[in-house]
A = this chain, B = another copy of it.
Amino acid sequence: MTQQKMFLSDNAASVHPAVWNALRAADDPQPPYDGDRLSQRMDSVFSDMFGRECSALWVGTGTASNCLALATMVQPHGGVICHRESHIESDECGAPGFYLHGAKLLLADGEGARLTPATVETVLAGITRGIHQVQAHAISVTQVSEYGLAYRPDALAEIGAVAREHGLPLHMDGARFANAAAFLDCPPADVVGPADALSFGFIKNGGMDADAIVFFDPERAELARWRRKRAGHLQSKGRFLAAQILALAETGIWLDNARTANQAAAEIAGAAKGRLMHPVEANEVFVYLGAAERAALRAQGFAFYDWDDHSARLVTAWNTRQEDAAALGRAIAAL
């Protein structure tokens, strides 16, 4: 595998130089866990970013981030309304069942793996059998969705209104939150909208092994601290996780990295117009490609995953070179 032609996933991409520098700079003796200088600064960095009081925790994976956030919202006998193609439903090996002690995922529809007020209401309307049925305790949306589509601020506001009406907190899986922010080109506060907690992905954004959970309610954050420790996610040298997050979030790098990735995806999308399964709004391009076509591209050195028998998923990352994206675009166009 050579780096310049990798379109497999952003989840294993290289670590950004600024992150490396921050890691090395963090290697002086400091109090363990999150008692260090860097961890202590996380709240204020995110408070600045979102323009309101935040409590932020680092954690080693997106799965833990999603599950710990939801654990502050959902009791074991409750459920989470989420899209049936969401990551928590399909790709976390039942982690929500573990972290939420058996709570249920209540599956909703919606184009492009995005919920709508109507599809959320449909799930809620189906909960009619009282004590015999699992009740919704929270809603979870993914920004950007599994198909790389962004929720617009007004769409989020509408879902937030439904949530409020039913007394449900709102969680946002933001594994690619940065890509959404880059695409929407509006303040982070508008990208997160009315969510009560955000699982903010940095690992796909140039980090090594640190994501953040940003709580807009300090009580939830306190609760999450207990659950994080209990889940074995309170690292003793937590300063190294904080360092990664701050290196990206405190500077503009998180947004720059996302813009680079989005731009590369746009480059491919422009060349593959007739083949797109979904509009391209972030750093994922889903293209209809037959088996022979996929083989032809791979023969030219492009690495990517099949999506199904008739299509492929092409993912760009912060370190994708635009010339490689352009080359892939040309190769697809030439098929």
A11 to B132, CA, bound (A): 14
- Contact status B27-A15, CB under 8 Å: yes
Which residues from chain B contact A67 at a C-beta distance below 8 Å?
Answer: 232
Is residue A28 within 8 Å, beta carbon to beta carbon, of the partner chain? yes
A225 to B192, CA, bound (A): 33
Is residue A188 within 8 Å, beta carbon to beta carbon, of the partner chain? no
- Contact string against B for A residues 206-247, beta-carbon threshold 8 Å, 1 for contact and 0 otherwise: 001100000000000000011101111111110111000000
- Contact status B102-A98, CB under 8 Å: yes
Known: A12-B29, A60-B60, A209-B240. A103 touches B95 (CB 8 A): no
A77 CB, nearest partner CB in chain B, Å: 4
Known: A28-B14, A32-B9, A98-B76. A208 touches B233 (CB 8 A): no
Interface residues in A91-109 by Cβ distance below 8 A to B read 91-104
Is residue A300 within 8 Å, beta carbon to beta carbon, of the partner chain? no
- A203 nearest in chain B by CB position: B236
Interface residues in A230-270 by Cβ distance below 8 A to B read 230-237, 239-241
Which residues from chain B contact A14 at a C-beta distance below 8 Å?
Answer: 27-29
Residue of B23, B102, B203, B235 near A60 (CB, 8 A) is B235
- Contact status B3-A28, CB under 8 Å: yes
- Contact status A237-B98, CB under 8 Å: no
- A4 nearest in chain B by CB position: B29
Is residue A6 within 8 Å, beta carbon to beta carbon, of the partner chain? yes
Is residue A194 within 8 Å, beta carbon to beta carbon, of the partner chain? no
- Contact status A104-B95, CB under 8 Å: no
Is residue A1 within 8 Å, beta carbon to beta carbon, of the partner chain? yes
A287 CB, nearest partner CB in chain B, Å: 20
- Contact status B131-A93, CB under 8 Å: yes
Known: A92-B132, A94-B79, A98-B76. A61 touches B235 (CB 8 A): yes
Is residue A31 within 8 Å, beta carbon to beta carbon, of the partner chain? yes
- Contact status B94-A236, CB under 8 Å: no
A51 to B63, CA, bound (A): 35
Is residue A20 within 8 Å, beta carbon to beta carbon, of the partner chain? yes
Is residue A40 within 8 Å, beta carbon to beta carbon, of the partner chain? no
A283 to B314, CA, bound (A): 51
A242 CB, nearest partner CB in chain B, Å: 12
- Contact status A236-B60, CB under 8 Å: no
Given contacts A77-B226, A97-B134, 20 further A-B contacts (CB under 8 A): A3-B29, A15-B240, A60-B235, A61-B233, A61-B236, A63-B234, A65-B232, A77-B94, A91-B133, A93-B131, A93-B229, A94-B230, A95-B229, A95-B231, A97-B101, A98-B102, A99-B232, A101-B102, A135-B226, A203-B237
Top 9 A-B pairs, shortest CB-CB distance: A97-B102, A64-B232, A63-B232, A12-B32, A11-B236, A93-B229, A101-B101, A94-B134, A77-B226
